[in-house]
C-alpha cells in the first residue's frame, strides 16, 4: 500500500531534519463532506509519522482570517504543506477560493492549485500536482492499464480534477478528450474511450450507454444519498447496497451507474476507489514539499 511505502521517506526526513514533515489543513465552516475528507487526511498524515495540524475557522469567519491563516503558515518553518479545504463558505464570495490558492506559497501548495504549479503541470515539469487526479493516475498505473496511444475521455472540466487529469494523461501519451456540460452527444463521445474518467459530481450520471465494452472506468464522484427512492432507483431489491442504506440511513455513490459494472473491463468502486488514493497523494505531496524545501 502506498502509505506504507512512503513511511521510510518520512522516517528519513525526520531523522535528517530533526522534525517530521508538517501539513496544515485550513477548514472554514462545517461542510459535512469536508469534515470527513479533512479527518481522513489528518489521520493518514498522523499515522505516517507526519505532524498534521488543523486550523479551524468559523463559518462566519471573515475572508481576511483565511488569508491571515495562510500568511502565517507560509512563514512557519515547520509547515511544509498547506491545504485549504474547498469549498469555502459561500458567504466569502465567488472568487474567494482562487484568491486563497493564489496566496499559498507555491512550495507548500500540496493541492497543486497555485497558478505556478498549474503552469508547471501544463509544461510537464510539475512537482506538486492536484491530489485527486494524481491518485487516479497512480491507480491506473498500478493496475497496469496502458495509457500511451489510448483514448482517454474525461467528463468534467474542474480545476480540481478534470483539467489536471487531462494534462496528466496527455503527458502519459494518451489521446485526451475533455468533456463538459455543453458537449454534444456526450454518451457517444464517452463510448470512444478506452479510459473513461467521470468527475462531474452527479450520482449515477454515467450509464452503460456511455461505456465501450471492456473500457476502464474511473469514478471520481462521491455523493451521499439519503432518500430511499434514490437508492431504490439505482439498486434492485435484495441488492447489498440497499441493505447498507437501511443500516446507515445514507449511502455513498459515485458518478457511475452500477449497471456499468456489466460493461466495463474495470471499474473503480465508490467508496474505496479514488478516495483513499487521493489521501495517499496528500501524504506524498507533503513529503515532496518537505524534501524540496529542505
Ligand atoms: N475539496 C474537494 N477535493 C478537494 C481537494 O483535493 N483539495 C481541497 N483543498 N479541497 C477539496
The reply to whether the predicted model has a pTM over 0.85 is yes
Asked if residue 230 has a cis previous peptide bond (ω within 30° of 0), the answer is no
Q: How far apart are CA 91 and CA 89, in angstroms?
A: 5
Cell 499559498 belongs to residue: 104
Span 58-99, pLDDT tens digits: 999 999 999 999 999 999 999 999 999 999 999 999 999 999
Tell me: do 117 and 152 sit in the same domain: no
Tell me: do 120 and 137 sit in the same domain: no
Which residue CA neighbors atom 9 of ligand 1 most closely?
85
Tell me: do 138 and 262 sit in the same domain: yes
Residues with CB under 6 A from ligand 1: 83-86, 111, 131-132, 160
pLDDT of residue 150: 98
Tell me: do 152 and 263 sit in the same domain: yes
Tell me: do 198 and 242 sit in the same domain: yes
Tell me: do 103 and 139 sit in the same domain: no
Which domain does 61 fall in, by range?
2-125+277-293
Cα-flanking dihedrals φ and ψ of residue 160, to 5°? -80, -35
Tell me: do 246 and 158 sit in the same domain: yes
The C-alpha cell that represents 12 in the structure block: 528519513
Q: Say how many domains are in the chain.
A: 2
Tell me: do 109 and 204 sit in the same domain: no
Strands (E), the chain: 22-28, 51-57, 81-84, 151-155, 175-179, 195-198, 216-219, 223-225, 251-253, 266-267
Strands (E), 71-194: 81-84, 151-155, 175-179
Which percentage of the chain shows pLDDT scores above 90? Answer: 98
Low-confidence ranges of the chain (pLDDT < 70): none
pLDDT of residue 59: 92
Ligand 1 midpoint to CA 213 (Å): 32
Atom of ligand 1 nearest to the CA of 87: 1
Crossing angle for the helix pair 96-103 and 63-74, nearest 10 degrees? 20
CATH for 83: 3.40.50.10860
Span 271-282, pLDDT tens digits: 999 999 999 999
Crossing angle for the helix pair 162-171 and 131-142, nearest 10 degrees? 40
Ligand 1 midpoint to CA 169 (Å): 20
pLDDT of residue 1: 85
Cell 475533455 belongs to residue: 178
Residues found in the chain: 294
Tell me: do 95 and 199 sit in the same domain: no
CATH for 199: 3.40.50.720
Closest CA to 154 of 144, 35, 234, 140: 140
Of residues 80, 109, 111, 194, which has the active-site annotation?
Answer: 111
Q: How far apart are CA 65 and CA 41, in angstroms?
A: 22
Q: What is the DSSP letter of 109?
A: B
pLDDT of residue 66: 98
Q: Which helix (H) or strand (E) holds 118?
A: helix 115-122
Q: How far apart are CA 55 and CA 30, in angstroms?
A: 13
Tell me: do 7 and 115 sit in the same domain: yes
Amino acid at each position: 500500500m502506498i502509505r506504507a511505502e512512503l513511511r521510510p521517506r518520512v522516517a528519513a526526513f525526520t531523522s535528517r531534519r530533526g522534525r517530521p514533515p508538517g501539513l496544515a489543513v485550513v477548514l472554514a465552516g462545517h461542510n459535512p463532506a469536508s469534515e470527513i475528507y479533512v479527518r481522513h487526511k489528518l489521520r493518514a498524515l498522523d499515522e505516517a509519522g507526519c505532524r498534521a495540524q488543523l486550523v479551524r475557522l468559523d463559518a462566519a469567519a471573515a475572508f481576511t482570517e483565511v488569508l491571515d491563516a495562510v500568511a502565517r503558515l507560509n512563514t512557519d518553518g515547520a509547515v511544509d504543506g498547506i491545504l485549504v479545504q474547498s469549498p469555502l463558505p459561500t458567504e466569502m464570495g465567488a472568487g474567494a477560493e482562487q484568491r486563497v490558492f493564489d496566496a499559498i506559497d507555491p512550495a507548500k501548495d500540496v493541492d497543486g492549485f497555485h497558478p505556478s504549479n498549474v503552469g508547471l503541470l501544463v509544461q510537464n515539469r510539475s512537482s506538486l500536482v492536484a491530489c485527486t487526479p494524481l491518485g487516479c493516475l497512480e491507480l491506473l498505473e498500478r493496475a497496469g492499464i496502458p495509457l500511451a496511444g489510448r483514448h482517454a475521455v474525461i467528463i468534467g472540466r474542474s480545476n480540481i480534477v478534470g483539467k489536471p487529469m487531462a494534462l496528466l494523461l496527455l503527458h502519459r501519451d494518451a489521446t485526451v478528450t475533455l468533456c463538459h456540460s455543453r458537449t454534444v452527444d456526450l454518451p457517444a463521445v464517452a463510448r470512444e474511450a478506452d479510459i473513461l474518467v467521470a468527475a462531474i459530481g452527479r450520482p449515477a450520471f454515467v450509464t452503460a450507454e456511455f461505456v465501450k465494452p471492456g473500457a476502464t472506468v474511473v469514478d471520481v464522484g462521491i455523493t451521499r444519498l439519503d432518500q430511499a427512492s434514490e437508492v431504490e432507483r439505482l439498486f434492485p431489491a435484495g441488492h447489498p447496497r440497499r441493505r447498507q442504506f437501511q443500516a446507515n440511513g445514507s449511502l455513498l455513490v459515485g458518478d457511475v451507474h452500477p449497471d456499468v459494472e456489466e460493461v466495463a473491463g474495470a471499474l473503480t468502486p465508490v467508496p474505496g476507489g479514488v478516495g483513499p488514493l487521493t489521501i495517499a497523494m496528500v501524504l506524498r505531496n507533503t513529503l515532496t514539499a518537505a524534501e524540496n524545501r529542505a
